Chain A
Amino acid sequence: MSAPAPRLALVGIRRQYGPVIALDAASLTVQRGEVHALLGENGAGKSTMMKIVFGLEQPDAGTIHIDGDSAHIRSPRHAMRQGISMVQQHFALVDALTVAENVALGGTARLDLDATRAHIRELSAASGLPIDPDARVRDLTVGAQQRLEIIKALSRDTTILILDEPTAVLAPQEARELLTWMRRFATNGGTVILVAHKLREVLSVADRITVLRKGRTVFTGHARDTTESSLADAMLGGPDMSSADARVIGATRAHSRQAGHSSSSAKTRDVLVLTGVGVDDAQGVQRLRDVNVTVRAGEIVGVAAVEGAGQQELLRVMAGRTTPTRGTATLPSDVGFAPEDRHRDAIVLDATITENVALKGAGRRHGIIPWSALRDATRTLMRLRDVRAGDAQAAVRTLSGGNQQKLVLGRELSGSPEALVVESPTRGLDIRATADVHAALRAARDQGTAVIVYSSDLDEVLALADRVIVVAEGHVREVAADRDTVGRAMLAPADR
């Protein structure tokens, strides 16, 4: 007797973006009729793997099998034809159209909205996902939009459904209903791949679990054989970091400890104080709840969080770019800010280096701009921060990512601000540039600046931080700066 071929199998998958290896010899085997959870830290490669399954990305190496047959998934359309659908975190819905129109969109048959409506009612009744076919998407709640995405997938005869962090946007009640539905879908022969952070949730619904760490599959097994603790161990890993990053981080961490001790003694002035801060998004959903944080001069506070836990809002409140909905934020007059999306929020690519330096404080500038003095200041800054470019008059577009980031940090640190907020400071940078950026942040700290650093890479947070605060589901708390404690705190809501 031979076991049936798995519904979907990925073997030895490799995917590389420039110097960054997202997936390396990763594998995943999913059976028919199961809810299969895919776990991993930020940047472990979960999203890349799912993009490959859905045809959004092509692997550099490795094979994919569907029902035992070798498959090559060229595009989302091609994936859908094989019964694979994906509900992404950012919904692909047209909000000016009705539910029925969104379901019909992209179909090949003649458009028959009456039939589509009937089909939606049928699917809705069978799946227990209530939705009004005639509602306009823009009038739907986020939960209803997600139900619509699932209905859309079901209407295309989906048998393998990928859900990327589906409960992140849902209220607790909605999340429970979704998990119940998943279970039922699988019992009826469907296959669910659930990409998730929340361990409790995963354990409550998944049949089997695969854990990725740094692009490799480190664990596959039945959910009943695991505990939250063993899963966290698998995700966070032991001391077996093998990549080049580990060497850099190891080296700089030692440095951090020393510097941290030497500087933390004298400077204890409170620079940045948040009291009872809450932030609501445009839909009125609470992104931050009752946050109380104090950052002192001469320390680096590391922020750890999984995607979308509220850290973006927290950093923007600290940088003075967002006004809190509730509570008070006491900030120094000058806070430097290096946001994650440099090209969008921090630099003007077509302007020169000097102009980008001059951008700081441009809103308050008057009269004639002293360009020659600024040019000299820029050259000094470039020398000081080791920004490598032809000249201060070169367009920033011509700089490498690392030099662009060093420029942003240099600019934000010019004039010695009392506080500096940094978001994913080394994203997309190579090892050398990463080390330079880390050195710059430490130097700022040693000169008495209060530094707040968020990174999606937990190791980076730990390498830099003197203290660590964790954001989980909008709650913020300080935890001991060891990998295991922080990692677990990120995965669990603050109330436990």
Chain B
Amino acid sequence: MSSPALADFLDASVRSATPLLLAALGETVAERSGVINVGIEGTIIAGCLAGLVAATVVGPNAALLAAGIAGIGIALIFVVVAIGLAADQIITGTAITMLGLGLTSTLYRVIYGDGGAALSAPTLSVIGIPLLQDIPVVGRALFRQPLPTYLAELMVPAIWYWLHRTQSGLAIRATGENPGASLASGISTRRVQTTAVLFGGMCGGLAGGTLVLAQVGTFTEGMSAGRGFVAIAIVALGRWHPVGVAMAALVFGMASALQFLFQALNLNLPYQIFLALPYLLTLLALALTRGVYRAPAALGARKAVRG
């Protein structure tokens, strides 16, 4: 394999992995608090549209912020129904995904006319880190990327620190494992879960913003293309741990970058196998591993102790 092709492959892997990692890190925090938000797809697509709209007005950097806020907005609906009204998390999440997809395609047409003309947004420029970006093969993948990639990479240790070294992170983990014990320690489980889900929504929004502002440069209906579901798989493969999630996101990113590599190398291999492979890996990992790195015990519990 020639090294330019490999460098392209690594670069594409990191690019594909970035939005996945952002969304998955947010979902990790939500799931560690005991809430599974299947509606993450809805927050991603909301971030996509908000990113595009805001970019045309205030430019790409502020637009990334707008995308995050849009994600929080969608997650807020989930919070009201699934935490406030204690409705089933899975059904609520599915509805949130449908809502996000429907709402964005409607708004897009309302704002830009029914032609849905391919509007292009100003995109985030690539930030190269001097010298490091010139390292052969890996330099470009690691040190010549747009802002969200660096953001996602910084979030990995930051979330680890949050979950494992702060009082509120401890409260999140305890609530996801045993809400009753959390409550007995004077913690408001409702508040903890709300915070975690809204953070997850923000990350989903940022993931959507990244898609539009750092990669595609425009909005198309349903462009989130199931990345919310991929994020849920990544969280499981990454064993609910930020570092594991980062590696899992890279695995999924590489799988989808393989098709570019095959094209570059003129290989006519069925890339779908490689796209499906990480999911099989995740199922296997879920079935076979036990012990510390497992799903939070109270994940998805609907009638957790209220508080």
Contact = CB atoms under 8 A, between A and B. Distances in A.
Nearest to A107: B167
A105 B165 contact: no
B174 to A, nearest CB: 5
B194 to A, nearest CB: 17
A76 B173 CA distance: 21
Contacts of B171: 105-106
Chain A interface extent, by class: 20 to 34
Interface in A121-139: 136
A80 interface: yes
B74 to A, nearest CB: 30
A80 B167 contact: no
B182 interface: yes
Nearest to A136: B292
Contact of B186 (A80, A110, A111): A80
B80 interface: no
B167 A94 contact: no
B180 interface: yes
Chain B interface extent, by class: 20 to 34
B174 A97 contact: yes
B182 A94 contact: yes
B187 A96 contact: no
Given A105-B174, A106-B171, A76 B186 contact: yes
A96 B292 contact: yes
Contact of A93 (B166, B181, B292, B296): B181
A376 interface: no
Interface in A256-273: none
Interface in B277-296: 292, 296
B131 to A, nearest CB: 37
B177 interface: yes
Of the listed residues B171, B178, B180, the one surrounded by the most CB atoms of chain A closer than 10 A to its CB is: B178
Contacts of A92: 178, 180-181, 184-185
B170 interface: yes
B297 interface: yes
A94 B177 contact: yes
A30 to B, nearest CB: 22
A431 B174 CA distance: 43
A397 B32 CA distance: 35
Interface in B151-182: 165-167, 169-171, 173-174, 177-178, 180-182
Nearest to A101: B170
Nearest to A77: B186
B268 to A, nearest CB: 48
Contacts of A94: 173-174, 177-178, 181-182
A92 B187 CA distance: 12
A111 B292 contact: no
Contact of A111 (B167, B181, B187, B296): B167
A101 B173 CA distance: 10
Nearest to B167: A111
Nearest to B296: A96
Given A96-B292, A96-B297, A106 B178 contact: no
Given A92-B181, A105-B182, A110-B167, A97 B187 contact: no
Interface in A87-130: 92-97, 101, 104-111, 113
Contact of B167 (A97, A104, A136): A104
Contacts of B165: 111, 113
Contacts of A108: 167
Of the listed residues A94, A108, A110, the one surrounded by the most CB atoms of chain B closer than 10 A to its CB is: A94
B265 to A, nearest CB: 45
Nearest to B166: A111
A188 to B, nearest CB: 25
A96 B170 CA distance: 11
Nearest to A91: B181
A106 B166 contact: no
Nearest to B185: A106
Contacts of A109: 167
A95 B177 contact: yes
Interface string A400-424: 0000000000000000000000000
Contact of A97 (B166, B177, B180, B186): B177
B223 to A, nearest CB: 38
Contacts of B174: 94, 97, 101, 105
B170 A111 contact: yes
B199 to A, nearest CB: 18
Contacts of B185: 92, 105-106
A80 B170 CA distance: 19
A76 B184 contact: yes
A106 B297 contact: no
Contacts of B292: 96, 136
Contacts of B181: 92-94, 105
A104 B168 CA distance: 11
Of the listed residues A76, A80, A92, A101, the one surrounded by the most CB atoms of chain B closer than 10 A to its CB is: A92
Contacts of B297: 96
A94 B297 CA distance: 10
Contacts of B170: 97, 101, 104-105, 111
B22 to A, nearest CB: 25
Given A104-B167, A110-B167, A111-B165, A97 B173 contact: yes
Contacts of A95: 177-178
Contacts of B169: 111
A97 B173 CA distance: 8
Interface in B221-244: none
Contacts of A97: 170, 173-174, 177
A146 to B, nearest CB: 14
Interface in A31-80: 75-77, 80
Contacts of B187: 105-106
15 contacts: A76-B184, A94-B173, A94-B174, A96-B173, A96-B177, A96-B178, A96-B297, A97-B177, A101-B173, A105-B174, A105-B181, A106-B185, A107-B167, A110-B167, A111-B166
Given A76-B184, A111-B166, 14 more contacts: A77-B186, A93-B178, A94-B177, A96-B292, A96-B297, A97-B177, A101-B170, A105-B170, A105-B174, A105-B181, A106-B186, A108-B167, A111-B169, A113-B165
Interface of A: 75-77, 80, 92-97, 101, 104-111, 113, 136
Interface of B: 165-167, 169-171, 173-174, 177-178, 180-182, 184-187, 292, 296-297
Closest 7 CB pairs between A and B? A106-B185, A92-B184, A77-B186, A92-B181, A111-B167, A96-B177, A94-B178
